[in-house]
Amino acid sequence: MIEDEETTMKRREFLKSGLTGTAAFAVSGLTLLSAGRVEAATVNVNLVAESTFKTMIDGTSVPVWQFRDPAGSGPGALTSGMLVREGDTVNVTVTNNLDRAINFVIPGALASSPSVAAGASRTYSFTAPAAGSYFYTDSVNGEIGKAMGLSGPLVVMPASGANSLTATSGAFDRQYTLVLNELDDRLNNAIYNGQSYDMANYEPNYYFVNGLSYPDTAGDGDTLVAMNVGENVAIRFINTGCISYPQHFHGYHVNVISRNRVPETVAINKDTTQVDRDM
């Protein structure tokens, strides 16, 4: 299972806490409904599944797939993302501009769904699950959808709108959502040219956080982690890729709060933690 690990971070000896920014979602266009509301809302989202070209950090142009939200974007360079509350009714209309059928699934929340044909649209409805970090993707094409980039983050906040990971624990001052993925340009070019690709040969050569590679990550407010002394900061790692990612915090320790939305019995203090692939 993918580990959308939720952590809080501490500077050795003199910094308490960590990383994040509720502001990150405002900057990225992920909109949280009014903090004052006391009941579930209906959230309508439009996503366009499409093929485009992405310029790599070395200038190479690679064909990719993406879910694009015409009304907003996700953190960093991601073209979509959702931020809702527990219990919200979420209606997602997917317009499929790809050359094949796809669907819309959320591992851990919406395991299966009917497909939408090329050139067609379909609306998928679900009730926002328990507070935590999720992602949406396509499952019709196996791992090819994820490998091509057809995914996006879904963050579910407590129904109260409180700045916490769950209704009862994990309070934070700021939060960051860091989406990890990668691509193998041989696969992307093969799929773009109508060929098949054996995932057994998958060897990615580009890696991203929120759709960005270094040094672009260092200039992005959604992705560059900033903090103040004494803050409690939550980091949500969401792995939408096809490999696992060890995360090392130079000079810091983090408390691992949950993995796949399952709380740790005791917060584990670590300077390296693994964010596994979704298998």
Two structure tokens written together for 236: 């949500």
Q: What is the mean pLDDT of the chain?
A: 87
CB 142, CB 199: distance < 8 Å:
yes
Closest to 4 (Cα-Cα) out of 252, 218, 260 = 260
Taking only the tens place, the pLDDT of each residue in 254-277 is 888 888 888 887 777 888 888 998
Give the residue-averaged pLDDT of 104-112: 95
Cα–Cα distance, 123 to 270 (Å, whole number)? 42
Contacts of 13 (CB under 8 A, 6+ apart): none
> In this model, does residue 15 exceed pLDDT 50?
no
CB 32: neighbour CB atoms within 10 A?
Answer: 14
For residues 137, 138, 143, 148, the Cα torsion angle rounded to the nearest 10 degrees is -70
Percent of the chain with pLDDT over 70: 85
16 band by pLDDT with thresholds 50, 70 and 90: very low
- Residue 198 burial by CB count (10 A; 0-12/13-18/19+): exposed, middle or buried? exposed
Closest to 174 (Cα-Cα) out of 13, 27, 277 = 27
> In this model, does residue 3 exceed pLDDT 70?
no
Give the residue-averaged pLDDT of 33-49: 78
Residues facing 274 on adjacent strands: 246
Give me the phi and psi of 180, to 5 degrees please: -105, 130
Task: Please state, in angstroms and as integers, the Cα–Cα distance from residue 123 to each residue in 74, 116, 129, 208, 256, following that order.
Answer: 20, 9, 18, 29, 36
Could you tell me the pTM of the whole model? 0.88
Closest to 97 (Cα-Cα) out of 52, 153, 145 = 52
What local confidence, expressed as pLDDT, does residue 252 receive?
81
> In this model, does residue 52 exceed pLDDT 60?
yes
What local confidence, expressed as pLDDT, does residue 261 receive?
85
Task: Please state, in angstroms and as integers, the Cα–Cα distance from residue 184 to each residue in 61, 62, 153, 197, following that order.
Answer: 12, 9, 21, 11
> What are the sequence ranges of the domains in the chain?
6-275
Two structure tokens written together for 228: 């103040």
CB 182, CB 240: distance < 8 Å:
no
Tokens 């809702």, located at residue = 84
Taking only the tens place, the pLDDT of each residue in 147-205 is 999 999 999 999 998 999 888 888 999 999 999 999 999 999 999 999 999 999 999 99
Q: Which of 126-130, 215-219, 232-236, 255-259 has the lowest mean pLDDT?
A: 255-259
Q: Is domain 6-275 in CATH 3.40.50.2000, yes or no?
A: no
Cα–Cα distance, 165 to 167 (Å, whole number)? 7
